[in-house]
């Protein structure tokens, strides 16, 4: 199928952190760092196949599912695109005391409303967090939520991009220094997976075989973990304590359905 329009909804994963744009195009006029990401990469490929293709990306880093449903879903419905990607809930599950069943109910309601427009909808499971310090403590909660996600995708006839078993994303070289967001190579692999699920030919293969990792001595690993806690985990905890988000004041990078240019 040739897609004429695509709207991407979600948080930092869909906004594209940390997949940098070409040099000189990293910041918008407001000084906000902008990124490329898997959704832009998918849109670029779809635009190659369909003249007049239009694309909007409403995703904003740090957003919770209630914010995405309130701010992004109605705008996507108004745009009436052929294709919508919807990935939400991950930031909610990182909060202590969050309930994956409750978050999944909100996800299901939003997906139902998006499908009523007649658009095809792409949904995602996340990667298995067993290799990530701290994150792996919530592995069971994430697993429950992603089982719900699979059921919702099946119920409403959505495309499902299942990242949980995707071995190419288990390699640390697919991730940025914060160990939470993909880097450019990780986003490229996800874009290839999305295109494969859509049945769209891609020059990339999401089944990448990485060369063996060089061995790291325990002291170096401990030093890297300490720096990670200091530079990434501590600021994240600080924002939670202050009740602020990395996405506060950040507008969508592509708020209108328009040609890529």
Tell me the C-alpha distance between 133 and 169, whole Å.
16
The one-digit pLDDT tens for each residue of the chain (261 residues) are 789 999 999 999 999 999 998 776 778 878 888 999 999 999 999 999 999 999 999 999 999 999 999 999 999 999 999 999 999 999 999 988 999 999 999 999 999 999 999 999 999 999 999 887 777 889 999 999 999 999 999 999 999 999 999 999 999 999 999 989 999 999 999 999 999 999 999 999 999 999 998 887 888 878 888 887 788 878 877 887 778 888 888 999 999 999 997
Tell me the C-alpha distance between 89 and 14, whole Å.
12
Q: Rounded to whole angstroms, what are the CA distances from 230 to 227, 237, 238?
A: 5, 11, 11
List, in order, residues 6 or more apart from 250 with CB less than 8 Å away.
Answer: 32, 60, 61, 62
SS percent in the chain: helix, strand, coil, step 5: 45, 15, 40
- Classify residue 162: in a domain, yes or no: yes
Q: Positive or negative CA dihedral for 111, 64, 224, 226?
A: negative
Task: Report which DSSP code applies to 28.
Answer: -
> Count of domains in the chain?
1
CATH of the domain at 64: 3.40.50.1110
User: What was the pLDDT predicted at 142?
Assistant: 96
What is the residue whose two structure tokens read 């705008």?
75
- Classify residue 159: in a domain, yes or no: yes
User: What was the pLDDT predicted at 24?
Assistant: 67
- Classify residue 239: in a domain, yes or no: no
**Which domain does 57 fall in, by range?**
5-214+251-258
- Classify residue 238: in a domain, yes or no: no
- Classify residue 220: in a domain, yes or no: no
- Classify residue 94: in a domain, yes or no: yes
User: What was the pLDDT predicted at 231?
Assistant: 82
- Classify residue 141: in a domain, yes or no: yes
């Amino acid at each position: 199928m040739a897609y004429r329009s695509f709207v991407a909804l979600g948080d930092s994963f869909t906004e594209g952190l940390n997949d940098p744009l070409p040099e000189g195009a990293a910041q918008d006029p407001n000084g906000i760092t902008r990124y490329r990401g898997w959704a832009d990469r998918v849109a670029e490929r779809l635009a190659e196949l369909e003249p007049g293709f239009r694309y909007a990306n409403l995703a904003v880093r740090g957003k919770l599912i209630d914010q995405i449903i309130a701010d992004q879903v109605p705008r996507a419905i108004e745009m009436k695109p052929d294709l919508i990607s919807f990935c939400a809930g991950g930031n909610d599950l990182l909060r202590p005391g969050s309930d994956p069943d409750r978050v999944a109910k909100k996800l299901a309601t939003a997906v139902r409303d998006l499908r009523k427009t007649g658009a095809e909808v792409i949904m995602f499971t996340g990667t298995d967090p067993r290799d990530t310090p701290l994150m792996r403590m919530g592995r069971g909660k994430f697993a429950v939520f992603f089982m719900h996600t699979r059921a919702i995708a099946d119920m409403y006839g959505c495309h499902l991009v299942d990242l949980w078993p995707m071995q190419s994303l288990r390699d640390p070289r697919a991730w940025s220094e914060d160990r939470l967001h993909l880097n450019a190579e990780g986003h490229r692999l996800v874009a290839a997976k999305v295109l494969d699920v859509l049945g769209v030919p891609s020059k990339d293969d999401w089944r990448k075989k990485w060369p063996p990792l060089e061995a790291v001595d325990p002291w170096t690993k401990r030093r890297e973990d300490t720096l990670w806690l200091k530079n990434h985990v501590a600021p994240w905890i600080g924002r939670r304590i202050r009740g602020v988000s990395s996405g506060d004041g950040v507008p969508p990078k592509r708020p209108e359905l328009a040609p890529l240019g």
